[in-house]
């Protein structure tokens, strides 16, 4: 029997306990021995929970217990979760986490600590909820130079955009539904502003390159300024509007990275992901394309990935630790945003002579979009030659018109 502890008994932590109980026999077969949840650390008590008798409010009860081999961190954030993760690793406990904010911000430090102790630090559940992507990207695709990792990395915003589009409901209602389902972060700002997707993209980029990418370097826009007309343009163009994270490896080994709402063709493989689902497209130079699709958030899907890491860890106890580490280098990995290429739909309140718009965008191309019932003017730009973000921003400033907004195209 392997004893484990869970730190943080919220949506995901209690999901880990539920999966361990629900699938105890199958898990025992795979791990080679049963998994026993010996302690649960939380500020609260859970008297009605089947594991309520394991709750402790003292972290020492876990760190000082030599029988506990593996600690699950499902607290979230970078405050107490960082301190307790450090202490768990220093105490020689293998750590399994779903905490993408912590991995994105402090991954190198925690991985180095685990490496020094020859123990595992595993974070499959930090990206894509229940979808296997961290280990497949690191292991199964290791023969490739990965040129592209792109997709829908946040279940909450995908749920909101899907519901707004398909059910015609308002943003606030869709958000509260997502919160009821347990998809959103405690503070949903991280979902809505694109930060959660950005952290996941930085983790995937770091695995791809084997070098740490600081998520703060990644240009990030969320969905809070999306307006109903944006969704109407998407329908008009046979596209969907999705919050997409994209890592593209450039010839000079820099990466073009962005998280932003984008218009994507309805027939594109990534666009199949609606509701809470995530879809991550990986393109390698030997493999071609592979799509990773499934439930990107929620209690049991995320717990599925956490428990899989626990099983993997249990199977390797006493052997080489499981570590996917990143080197920390001084080089500029993320290409400055202004230098990255862009194609976009530009929405204008005023009508401008077509010659004026075409003259301004010159060889990059500008074609008008006529959307019925929308009393405004829109242009698709940058489809004929490579237009950079900086060039687009400069041209939007030069337009003698009120720019309502611009939405990028996923290409
Ligand atoms: N809030 C996150 C999401 C949870 O909606 O994708 C899973 O990481």
Q: What CATH number is given to the structural domain containing 303?
A: 3.40.50.720
CATH of the domain at 403: 3.30.70.1150
Phi, psi of 88 (to 5 degrees): -65, -45
> 158 alpha carbon to ligand 1 midpoint, in Å?
10
Phi, psi of 157 (to 5 degrees): -70, -35
pLDDT of residue 327: 96
**76 pLDDT higher than 80:** yes
Do both 115 and 31 map to the same domain? yes
**61 pLDDT higher than 80:** yes
pLDDT band at 403 (very low <50, low <70, confident <90, very high): very high
Do both 146 and 97 map to the same domain? no
Please tell me which residue in 39, 200, 242, 299 is annotated as part of the active site.
200
Q: Where a domain ends, among 315, 350, 369? A: 315
Nearest CA to ligand 1 atom 4: 297
Q: Helix H segments across 181-261?
A: 189-192, 195-209, 228-236
Q: Is the dihedral of CA 214, 217, 223, 225 positive or negative?
A: positive
Give rounded-to-5 percent helix, strand, coil for the chain: 40, 25, 35
329 part of a folded domain: no
Do both 7 and 97 map to the same domain? yes
pLDDT (tens digit, 9 = 90+) per residue, 283-312?
999 999 999 999 999 999 999 999 999 999
pLDDT of residue 187: 84
Do both 289 and 168 map to the same domain? yes
**186 pLDDT higher than 80:** no
Annotated catalytic, 139?
no
**21 pLDDT higher than 80:** yes
For residue 124 and ligand 1, the question of a CB distance below 6 A is answered with: no
pLDDT band at 154 (very low <50, low <70, confident <90, very high): very high
Q: Where a domain ends, among 251, 283, 315? A: 315
DSSP string, 265-319: ETTSGGGG--TTEEEEEEEETTTEEEEEEEE-SSHHHHHHHHHHHHHHHHHTTTS
Of 69-73, 89-93, 205-209, 374-378, the poorest mean pLDDT is in: 374-378
Query: Token pair 């199964």 is at which residue?
Result: 140
Closest atom of ligand 1 relative to the 200 alpha carbon: 8
Q: Where a domain ends, among 265, 295, 325? A: 295
pLDDT (tens digit, 9 = 90+) per residue, 305-330?
999 999 999 998 988 888 999 999 99
323 part of a folded domain: no
Do both 267 and 142 map to the same domain? yes
pLDDT of residue 126: 98
For residue 128 and ligand 1, the question of a CB distance below 6 A is answered with: no
The token duo for 164 is 């707004």
Closest atom of ligand 1 relative to the 126 alpha carbon: 8
Closest atom of ligand 1 relative to the 98 alpha carbon: 8
For residue 297 and ligand 1, the question of a CB distance below 6 A is answered with: yes
324 part of a folded domain: no
What lies within 8 Å, CB to CB, of 180 at 6+ separation is none
Q: How far is CA 275 from CA 64, 166, 194, 282, in A?
A: 43, 10, 17, 21
Do both 16 and 114 map to the same domain? yes
Do both 8 and 65 map to the same domain? yes
pLDDT band at 375 (very low <50, low <70, confident <90, very high): confident
Q: In the predicted model, what is the mean pLDDT of residues 165-179?
A: 89
Do both 15 and 101 map to the same domain? yes
pLDDT of residue 312: 95
Q: In the predicted model, what is the mean pLDDT of residues 134-146?
A: 97
The pTM (predicted TM-score) of the whole model is 0.96
376 part of a folded domain: yes
- From 103, 129, 157, 277, the mutation candidate for ligand 1 (largest count of ligand atoms within 8 A of CB) is 129
> 408 alpha carbon to ligand 1 midpoint, in Å?
23
Half-sphere exposure of 96 (CA within 13 A, CB side): 26
For residue 154 and ligand 1, the question of a CB distance below 6 A is answered with: yes
pLDDT of residue 68: 98
Q: In the predicted model, what is the mean pLDDT of residues 56-69?
A: 98
Do both 143 and 249 map to the same domain? yes
- From 77, 131, 151, 156, the mutation candidate for ligand 1 (largest count of ligand atoms within 8 A of CB) is 156
Do both 380 and 272 map to the same domain? no
Domain assignment of residue 356, given as a range: 338-409
Q: Number of helices and strands (H, E) in the chain? A: 14, 16
Number of domains in the chain: 3
| Vertex 125 angle, CA 122 and 128, to 5° | 135
CATH of the domain at 258: 3.30.360.10
For residue 76 and ligand 1, the question of a CB distance below 6 A is answered with: no
Q: In the predicted model, what is the mean pLDDT of residues 139-160?
A: 97
Q: In the predicted model, what is the mean pLDDT of residues 180-206?
A: 94
61 part of a folded domain: yes
pLDDT band at 75 (very low <50, low <70, confident <90, very high): very high
For residue 283 and ligand 1, the question of a CB distance below 6 A is answered with: no
pLDDT of residue 228: 85
274 part of a folded domain: yes
**401 pLDDT higher than 90:** no
280 part of a folded domain: yes
The token duo for 406 is 């611009």
DSSP string, 363-402: GG-EEEE--TT--SEEEEESSSS--BHHHHHHHHHHSSS-
For residue 101 and ligand 1, the question of a CB distance below 6 A is answered with: no
**56 pLDDT higher than 80:** yes
387 part of a folded domain: yes
Do both 12 and 55 map to the same domain? yes
Do both 232 and 375 map to the same domain? no
pLDDT (tens digit, 9 = 90+) per residue, 208-252?
999 999 999 999 999 999 988 899 999 999 999 999 999 999 999
């Amino acid at each position: 029997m392997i004893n484990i502890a869970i730190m943080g008994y919220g949506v995901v932590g209690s999901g880990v306990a539920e999966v361990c109980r629900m699938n105890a026999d199958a898990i025992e077969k795979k791990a080679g021995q049963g998994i026993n949840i010996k302690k649960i650390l939380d500020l609260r008590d859970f008297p009605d929970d089947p594991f309520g008798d394991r709750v402790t409010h003292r972290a020492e009860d876990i760190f000082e217990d030599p029988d506990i081999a593996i600690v699950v961190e499902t607290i979230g954030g970078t405050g107490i979760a960082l301190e307790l993760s450090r202490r768990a690793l220093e105490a020689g406990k293998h750590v399994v986490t779903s905490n993408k904010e912590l991995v994105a911000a402090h991954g190198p430090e925690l991985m180095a600590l685990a490496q020094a102790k020859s123990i595992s630090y595993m974070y499959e559940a930090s990206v894509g909820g229940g979808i296997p992507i961290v280990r497949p990207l690191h292991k199964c695709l290791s023969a490739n130079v990965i040129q592209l990792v792109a997709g829908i990395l946040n279940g909450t915003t995908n749920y909101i955009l899907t519901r707004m589009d398909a059910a015609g409901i308002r943003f606030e209602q869709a958000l509260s539904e997502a919160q009821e389902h347990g998809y959103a972060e405690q503070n949903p700002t991280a979902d809505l502003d694109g930060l959660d997707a950005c952290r996941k993209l930085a983790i995937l980029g770091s695995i791809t390159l084997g070098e740490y990418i600081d998520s703060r370097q990644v240009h990030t826009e969320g969905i809070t300024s999306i307006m109903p007309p944006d969704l109407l343009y998407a329908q008009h163009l046979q596209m969907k509007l999705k919050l997409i994270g994209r890592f593209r490896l450039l010839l000079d080994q820099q990466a073009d990275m962005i998280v932003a709402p984008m218009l994507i063709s309805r027939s594109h493989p990534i666009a199949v992901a609606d509701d809470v689902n995530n879809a991550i497209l990986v393109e390698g130079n030997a493999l071609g394309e592979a799509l990773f699709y499934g439930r990107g958030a929620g209690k049991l899907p995320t717990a599925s990935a956490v428990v899989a890491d626990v099983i993997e860890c249990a199977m390797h106890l006493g052997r080489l630790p499981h570590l996917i580490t990143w080197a920390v280098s001084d080089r500029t990995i993320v290409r400055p945003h202004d230098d990255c290429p862009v194609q976009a739909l530009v929405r204008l309140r005023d009508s401008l002579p077509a010659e004026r718009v075409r003259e301004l965008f010159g060889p990059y191309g500008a074609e008008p979009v006529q959307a019925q019932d929308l009393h405004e003017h829109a242009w698709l730009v940058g489809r004929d030659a490579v237009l950079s973000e900086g060039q687009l921003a400069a041209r939007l400033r030069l337009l003698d018109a009120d720019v309502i907004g611009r939405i990028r195209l996923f290409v």
